Chain A
Amino acid sequence: MKKTRRDILIVLAAAIVIIGVVALLMLLPQTHKNDGFVTHEAFDDAHSISLGFSKTIDKSVAQDLSNYVVFEEDEPDIQMQPQSALLSPDAQTLHLRFAETLNPDLPHILKINNLDAAGSVTTIRLAQSQWVWLFSILISALLINNFVFTKYLGLCVFFGTSKRKNTATGMGVVFTIVMLVSAMMSWAINEYVLVPYHLEFLQIVVFIGLVSLTVQAVDTILRKVNPVLFNAFGIFLVLVIANCIIIAVPLFMVSSQYGFWETFMLALGAGGGFLLALYLMSAVRERLELAQIPESFQGLPIAFILAGQFALAFLGFSGLQF
């Protein structure tokens, strides 16, 4: 029995890794948008942008500052123009300097008139690499804003299932899978049904409804298709609904206006962070059984104090930045 459970865990972990790799591979085409005429675009610092081109460009066009417009992608009304434009001697590299302070963390759009040919508009999107951004969402949900230790969510299930390492990993894995499935469905319904028809007030009902339907469907299918797996993980399925993280992630996704892959990474980080917290806690609580604890502290009180110490330790991650 114990061996089958370990095998199941390994298979599930492998499935998650494969999904993650496929997800990253599908991102690949997005990162090479500006191939062709523009070969290089980047922020040098908060005041300057450097550009590289595959052919020489006209000096008189490049130095006419009225040809340039820069704005943040989310706020096209606030347009800025560079203070100076410096063309390198080989006429293939351009440095723009700005009087305003730009925020390199936000995606910017740079439009240049007449550069490729007279009357043309070259549009360049300057943004942090999608990979870095998605990775930072994952790490943030996993460690910096760990849902258990720094946002204090999902505590009922956290204290209930962290007594043994076996139950802790089982709960963590089941939760991660349900979290991923329900977050992706929530994203799709929010994006294509709720927002277009102005039904945002139904968000809570729809999100929690999706979770309980997922859980119910998995429960029914697993019971018939694979009773062994059901015996190992069935008891955790009901507990998933009682975990606030499962509803907090879609709400967070809506308030941050996340896209598909951003939501995917957030859900993966939230589930992984919960698994990590459960595993750490269960490792300590197994040791606690051998310790001599004052009678009135036994059970939950000491578990709370332990969690407080973990929370203090996780505060240290708040300095982590990309």
Chain B
Amino acid sequence: MRNQLSKTGLLARGILGENPVFKLALSMCPAVGISTTVMNGIMLGVAVIFVQIFSSLTIALIKNLIHPRIRIPTYTLTIATWVTIIDLVLAAFFPEAYAKMGIFVKLIVAFAIITMRLEMFASKESVSDSIFDALGMGIGFLVGMVAIGFVRELLGSGMILGHDVLGYKPLLFFILPCAGFFVVGFMMAFFNWIEAVYRKKMEERT
């Protein structure tokens, strides 16, 4: 089964068509748990891009050596190795941001999106295609996290990246952790609505 898309097509698919947060609804734990600020989203997004690219690269390189029965443990251990590396790097060089993200950097190991990309793509396709697919999915995750973080930080603390932009008393509700569920739910509904309106317009035109 060969991949039909070009490199830019792979990138665009990860960011728009199959956005891991809003379309595939995978890796929702960080999207709800720590998306209170844009900065958290960027940091975790970068960590996920790193892990996704290097795990995809590793699996794409050794895909012919893996016995099909033990492929899932192999994927998990590959991901765990790269997560350990990014975990130690972040703890050493960005201790403040690392403290804010808490346990979530370590939990990248259990993010469904990474295992899924290894299973669906990297274990079948060529190395270069796998890297672009991983990059697309990683950036898609980053975009999703930043979008949710933007809404929650703007409404919850009236700031963007730590700069005060609103100048009125913000709604504390959006900083509360349980608001993550509501924000993600309403944003998903919003994107579904846009898609439905867009599709209707296209149908009218044809």
- A-to-B contact residues, CB < 8 Å: 149-157, 159, 201-202, 204-205, 208-209, 211-213, 215-216, 220, 238, 241-244, 246-248, 251-252, 294-297, 300-305, 307-308, 311-312, 315
Contacts and interface: CB of A to CB of B under 8 A. Distances in A.
B26 interface: yes
Give chain A's interface secondary structure class. helix
A302 B106 CA distance: 29
Nearest to A313: B178
A208 B32 contact: no
A301 B107 contact: no
B80 interface: yes
A268 to B, nearest CB: 20
B84 interface: yes
Nearest to A294: B189
22 contacts: A150-B177, A154-B29, A155-B29, A156-B112, A157-B112, A205-B84, A208-B77, A211-B76, A212-B72, A212-B73, A238-B72, A242-B110, A244-B107, A244-B110, A244-B111, A247-B107, A297-B189, A301-B189, A302-B189, A308-B179, A308-B180, A311-B177
Contacts of B112: 156-157, 242
B189 A216 contact: no
B77 A205 contact: yes
Interface of B: 25-29, 32-33, 69-70, 72-73, 76-77, 79-81, 83-84, 87-88, 103, 106-107, 109-112, 115, 177-182, 184-186, 188-190, 192-193, 196
A229 to B, nearest CB: 19
A204 B106 contact: yes
Contacts of B103: 248, 251-252
Contacts of B88: 201
A208 B103 CA distance: 14
Nearest to B110: A244
